[in-house]
């Protein structure tokens, strides 16, 4: 998993600006999010530094000058790395389902259209660079939003360019399928480290909260809260004892919000502090 070492992680280390459906991010120090549930499809272009991404399928980097398209309801952790000489800087464009439905109602899809939900790397192209370069000036616009007629035009331009550069874009952006009921065991085994409410786990697996709890106890012979806590602690123990990671590197990675709470819970469960394992290396 991706981790940030020897860097304090505070909100002071990140400058984040949102204007309508366009988001600007500038980070002087390495900044790691606890977790992110991406609510809408979003295209992120990295101007400087690199963006580390960890999801249920693995870890990867979006480097300077690269663009990636992330899918709605994706669970991931993001690490923003500045380069040696410049801060991390990116621009993101979010595409709401209502906007996409209106856009695609007037489009014809390719015969090769295959609906998918997976991260898509967009190849480098002058049109992509021109698109995001043209958006940068809006960061200095006074107020919290870009006038709707302008933001709508930019969204349409963005979709048109993405489709021109890579027709596979339609496989993601034109996928309006409702969230179906997923294999609960498989989903939870892959995503247990993400610290999101049970209501969100229920939604993402296609269930009401009551059905989620009932299906969970039937599948795991345990309550969601108890299973998640034990699973996260077991993963933490493995990462510290076998992978030689520090407790300060692990607690966010396995779904805890702060180090002190992680340490107390770890000791209550195993009978010794996580630092005890570290000292035995």
Q: Is residue 179 part of a domain?
A: no
Report whether 76 contacts 14 (CB < 8 A).
Answer: no
When the pLDDT of each residue in the chain is averaged and rounded to a whole number, the result is: 89
Q: Is residue 5 part of a domain?
A: no
* Same domain? 147 vs 260: no
Give pLDDT, residue 9: 31
Strands (DSSP E) contained in the chain are 14-19, 22-27, 31-32, 36-38, 41-48, 50-55, 58-62, 67-70, 74-81, 88-95, 120-122
Q: What's the whole-number mean pLDDT along residues 216-242?
A: 97
Looking up residue 251, the CATH number of its domain turns out to be: 1.10.10.60
Q: Is residue 193 part of a domain?
A: yes
Looking up residue 35, the CATH number of its domain turns out to be: 2.60.120.810
Q: Is residue 54 part of a domain?
A: yes
Give pLDDT, residue 223: 98
Q: What's the whole-number mean pLDDT along residues 26-43?
A: 81
Q: What's the whole-number mean pLDDT along residues 161-168?
A: 94
Q: Is residue 6 part of a domain?
A: no
Domain interval for residue 56: 11-173
**Percent of the chain residues past pLDDT 90, beyond the cut:** 72
Please state the pTM of the whole predicted model. Answer: 0.85
The residue with greater pLDDT, 262 or 21, is 262
* Same domain? 131 vs 43: yes
What size, in residues, is the chain? 281
* Same domain? 28 vs 110: yes
Asked whether the predicted pLDDT for residue 153 surpasses 90, the reply is: yes
* Same domain? 265 vs 157: no
Structurally, how many domains does the chain consist of?
A: 2
* Same domain? 122 vs 147: yes
Angle, vertex CA 81, rays to CA 23 and CA 156, nearest 5: 25
* Same domain? 75 vs 166: yes
Give the end of a domain, one of 120, 151, 173.
173
Q: Is residue 209 part of a domain?
A: yes
Token reading at 103: 């856009």
* Same domain? 69 vs 116: yes
| CA-closest candidate to residue 194, choices 65, 75, 98, 274 | 75
Give pLDDT, residue 145: 78
Q: Is residue 262 part of a domain?
A: yes
* Same domain? 158 vs 188: no
* Same domain? 127 vs 191: no
* Same domain? 168 vs 209: no
Give the end of a domain, one of 154, 173, 192.
173
* Same domain? 221 vs 157: no
The residue with greater pLDDT, 167 or 64, is 64
* 8 — pLDDT class (breaks 50, 70, 90): very low
Asked whether the predicted pLDDT for residue 35 surpasses 70, the reply is: no
* Range of weakest confidence among 14-18, 181-185, 264-268: 14-18
Give pLDDT, residue 16: 54
């Amino acid at each position: 998993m991706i981790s940030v070492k020897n860097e304090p992680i505070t909100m002071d280390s990140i400058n984040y600006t949102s204007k309508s459906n366009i988001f600007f991010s500038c980070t002087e120090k390495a900044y790691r999010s606890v977790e992110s549930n991406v609510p809408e499809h979003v295209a992120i272009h990295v101007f400087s530094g690199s963006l580390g991404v960890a999801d249920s399928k693995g870890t990867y980097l979006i480097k300077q000058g690269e663009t990636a398209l992330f899918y709605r309801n994706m669970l991931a952790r993001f690490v923003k790395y500045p380069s040696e000489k410049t801060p991390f800087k990116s621009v993101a464009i979010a595409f709401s389902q209502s906007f996409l439905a209106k856009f695609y109602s007037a489009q014809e899809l390719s015969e090769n259209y295959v609906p998918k939900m997976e991260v898509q790397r967009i190849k480098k192209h002058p049109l992509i660079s021109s698109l995001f370069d043209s958006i940068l000036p809006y960061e200095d616009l006074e107020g919290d939003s870009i006038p709707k007629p302008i933001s709508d035009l930019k969204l349409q331009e963005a979709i048109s360019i993405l489709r021109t550069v890579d027709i596979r874009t339609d496989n993601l952006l034109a996928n309006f399928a409702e969230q179906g009921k997923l294999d609960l065991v498989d989903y939870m085994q892959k995503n247990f480290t993400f610290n999101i409410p049970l209501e969100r786990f229920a939604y993402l697996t296609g269930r009401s909260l009551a059905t989620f709890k009932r299906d969970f106890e039937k599948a795991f012979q345990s309550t969601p809260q108890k299973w998640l806590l034990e699973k996260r602690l077991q993963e933490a123990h493995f990462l510290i004892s076998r992978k030689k990671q520090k407790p300060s590197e692990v607690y966010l990675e396995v779904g805890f919000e702060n180090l002190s709470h992680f340490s107390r819970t770890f000791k209550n469960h195993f009978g010794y502090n996580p630092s005890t394992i570290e000292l035995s290396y």
